[in-house]
Amino acid sequence: MSEENKRTIWELRQKDLTNIKYASALLDMAICERSDDLPFALKQARAVQKVAASQSRREGRVDFANLYWKATLMLAPHYFEDFLYYMEKDRSPQKRFYMPRRRTLKTVVEDLQDLEDGKLDFYGLSMPPRVGKSTICIFFLAWIMGRRPNSHNAMSGHSGDLADGFYAEALNIMELDVPEDKAVYHFREIFPDTFLQKKSAEKREITLNDPDRFATLTCRGIDGTWTGAVDISSDGYLYVDDMVRDRKESLSPSRLEGRYQDYLNVLVDRKNDGTRELMVGTRWNVMDPLGRVEKKNKDNSRYRFRKIPALDENGESNFVYDYGLGFSTEHYLGMKERLDKNEWEAKFQQRPFVREGLLFPEEELLTYNGVLPPESDLIRKLAACDVAWGGGDSLSMPFGYEYDDGCIYIPDWIFNRGDKTVTQPIVVGKTMQHQVQMEHFEANNGGDEYADKVDELLREQNYSCSISSSKAPNTMSKLAKIIQYAPDVKRRCKFLAANKRNKEYHDAMDELTMFVQIGKNEYDDAADGITQLMMLANGGTVAKAEYVDAPY
């Protein structure tokens, strides 16, 4: 940008922009300078847009209304919300998609802008049915295709029928295959250099601009052909919508596991380095694909999960839209009364089902607020350790304070995936901090050596503790042992309230409350650790039934 142009723009910014002459001149300068300094030019256009929006509300100011749309057109290729505004500028207010729904969907639009601006790698969105979550995402993909017509993007869902709908709606929004005088939207005006190269309803593919082996957008069900047929470029998106078909499917652990593996091995396999993801769906189950991704990346700032429930914390609808669109509080309260509680919570409140057969559901566990009973009632302090050597497993070591009423309070929990050089000093430090009198280590896979080293380190600190180790009984499986002691855990153990837990304690409780007695558990370290603590409190033996000869 030349110094003369900068000076002219600076002088215009000092003028009264409520004068149409100065506001128009500033926007014209911004348009001229966008090829030299785009961020600076967009900043000037935004300033004009704000003034024009305000002035256009005054009676008879058609000139400012036209200026507002001119500024919005300049901003639309770069800002998703401006794209939505300009796309529907000539539609009647009640027929527009975004503006009537803006009060709720603006948060989603801002999230999607962050995704495109590179602030996020993954965005997960969960909202009730029929409130516009899929439509806003299809608008977003259309915007991306206009911005980068030679990128490769893919949309998928649980079936080919769902993919058919994605394909048709994307074509409908862009309107590249209809005469311009018949167009409802303004996609071609926003992206004048973008054109339809080819489309295939059979393959559900849309290719823009330059011919390519892979389409700009491919819409395909998870059960369709992906390998060799679909590529998602480094500047493209994988958009996954409703991987789980319905409630029935969500209640099958094996089918959920199959869906997750399909997601990883079919869809994610098509990504290139840099590909971003957008996943949308009803949060049916904590183990659905979206739930699995969230659990794995809950501490990753590059992943964002947005859940907007039907009713807010005050019991009011989040989806009362303009012109009678959306759903009222009364409508949702009626749905709540008619539906099974779990289905209401999952489908409408974005609080997913747990899997059948949970052994330690959160609501069945006793908790306390961090304040322990009087020390005079304390019998002893115990700790039990399920040893891990690093890698995927966690060293799990809950600390228990046993009181004379039989309750065992759990004030702390080591739950760490580090190797022994990381975890042994922590074990020693926590043992001394809590003044533990008895500790037990499971001796399998070198646990006895681990216990010996901890004992040695404690002796070096002149700290005495009764430390034992033993191998898990081979007469009973780990699962059977955990199931046997589960009632005692739920009856006697009191865990810290959620708002009192540190990260490791929180992770341990997450894993414990996900443990199932039917089906496959990805991890069992938390359940094994608390079970060993209960065994230690009960004397360290596992009950075993034997057949004997009757005495009569």
Q: What tokens were used for 381?
A: 């302090």
pLDDT in tens, 398-421: 999 999 999 999 999 999 999 999
Last residue within a domain, chosen from 294, 318, 347: 347
Q: Answer yes or no: do 202 and 269 share one domain.
A: yes
Mean residue pLDDT of the chain comes to: 90
Residues 276 and 325 in one domain: yes
Answer yes or no: do 155 and 272 share one domain. Answer: yes
pLDDT at residue 546 is higher than 50: no
Nearest to 102, CA basis, from 123, 81, 128 = 81
**Amino acid at position 371, single letter:** V
Residues 111 and 198 in one domain: yes
pLDDT tens-digit series, residues 277-295: 999 988 888 778 998 899 8
Query: pLDDT: is 219 or 391 the higher one?
Result: 219
| Residue 79 located in a structural domain | no
The full length of the chain comes to 552
- CATH, residue 317: 3.40.50
Confidence of residue 214 (pLDDT cuts 50, 70, 90): very high
Predicted confidence (pLDDT) at residue 513 exceeds the cutoff of 60: yes
Residues 285 and 383 in one domain: no
CA-based diameter of the chain, in Å? 112
Is the confidence at residue 543, as pLDDT, over 90? no
- Shared domain check, 342 and 375: no
One domain, residues 338 and 246: yes
51 occurs within a structural domain: yes
- Percent of the chain residues topping a pLDDT of 90: 71
pLDDT at 4: 83
Identify whether 49 is part of a domain: yes
pLDDT at 356: 59
Cα 27 from Cα 389, distance rounded (Å) = 64
Q: Is residue 341 part of a domain?
A: yes
Integer Cα distance of 313 and 301 in angstroms: 25
Judgement on whether residues 343 and 198 belong to the same structural domain of the protein: yes
CB 307 within 8 A of CB 283: yes
- How far the first Cα of the chain sits from its last, in Å, is 106
Domain end call among 59, 74, 89: 74
Q: CA-CA distance, 533 to 540, in Å (whole number)?
A: 9
- Residue 34 and residue 166 in one domain: no
Judge whether residue 103 has pLDDT over 80: yes
Question: What pLDDT, on a 0 to 100 scale, did the predictor assign at position 284?
Answer: 81
Could you tell me if 69 and 109 lie in one domain? no
Using the Cα atoms of residue 62, residue 66, residue 71 and residue 77 in order, give the sign of their dihedral.
Answer: positive
Same domain, 316 and 454: no
Residue 39: inside a domain = yes
Does the residue 292 lie in any domain? yes
Instruction: State which residues form the domain around 406.
Output: 362-537
Q: What pLDDT is attached to residue 336?
A: 92
Residue 124 pLDDT > 50: yes
Mean pLDDT of 300-317: 94
Arithmetic mean of pLDDT, 438-457:
90
Where among 56, 74, 92 does a domain terminate?
74
Answer yes or no: do 254 and 156 share one domain: yes
The confidence score (pLDDT) of residue 464 equals 93
Nearest to 89 by CA among 110, 112, 70: 70
Looking at per-residue confidence, does 438 or 351 come out higher?
438
Kindly list the strands in the beta sheet with 303-307, ordered across the sheet, starting from the edge strand earlier in the chain.
Answer: 196-200, 205-208, 217-219, 153-156, 237-241, 276-280, 122-126, 303-307
Specify if 81 maps to a domain: no
Residue 551 covered by a domain: no
The per-residue pLDDT for range 216-240, each reduced to its tens digit, is 999 999 888 888 889 999 999 999 9
Number of structural domains the chain divides into? 3
Q: Which residues contact 375 (CB under 8 A, 6 or more apart)?
A: none
Q: What is the mean pLDDT of residues 497-504?
A: 92
